[in-house]
Amino acid sequence: AQTVTQSQPEMSVQEAETVTLSCTYDTSESNYYLFWYKQPPSRQMILVIRQEAYKQQNATENRFSVNFQKAAKSFSLKISDSQLGDTAMYFCAFQETSGSRLTFGEGTQLTVNP
Amino acid sequence: EADIYQTPRYLVIGTGKKITLECSQTMGHDKMYWYQQDPGMELHLIHYSYGVNSTEKGDLSSESTVSRIRTEHFPLTLESARPSHTSQYLCASSEWGEAEKLFFGSGTQLSVL
């Protein structure tokens, strides 16, 4: 069974600074998909960024980027120029193949301080 | 605007009551999911459906049941609620494809007294 581990239950960062959230996973598959989801307080969970394992280039979405290290099975999220609205719970997720169910990590609570 | 809706947003009920949590999506997605989430904790998949008349149990054992009579509607029912059912329940949907994006509802916070 696939596992997803987020070793940082809580993190904080000052506004405008950069923060990196860690995620590791375990799989024997060579192709799979990785995601970061954001759950703001009392609001809907939304997709932040996604990565296909067969793509070597790291995904980027505006201030959000990932560092995908396939050999190390690591998938960290970097948030640049942090904003107060980035305060949320962040979940790393793994999908083994297209159509299979997602496995979520335990989550990291990020607080952006003014 | 395409979206996914959950009602009620909050529900407080007594032990033994039967409840149904509603989930509807307007995106025409075949795939729908129910997750259970305790405060500040990870999500646990309890039910999913890949289309009309298709329902499966998820990774976490649950005493709830689901139905999928229409594509857009995926209600979750608890026949006899207990305090151990107190949790947040999140509904989500997605369409078939690579690196599928899940669309989540706002959740139902259930408290069973």
pLDDT in tens, chain A (114 residues): 678 999 999 999 999 999 999 999 999 888 899 999 999 988 899 999 999 999 889 999 999 999 999 999 999 999 999 999 999 999 999 998 766 788 999 999 999 999
Chain B: give the shortest CA distance to residue A80, in Å: 23
Hey, what are A104's tokens? 């979520």
Question: In chain B, helix, strand, coil percent, each to 5?
Answer: 5, 50, 45
Reduced 3-state DSSP string for B12-65? EECCCCCEEEEEEECCCCCEEEEEEECCCCCEEEEEEEEECCEEEECCCCCCCE
Q: Is B40 in Cβ contact with A44 (below 8 Å)?
A: no
pLDDT tens by residue, B63-109? 999 999 999 999 999 999 999 999 999 999 998 876 788 999 999 99
Hey, what are B86's tokens? 């107190």
CA B63 from centre of chain = 13
What chain A residue is nearest to B109 in terms of C-alpha separation? A42
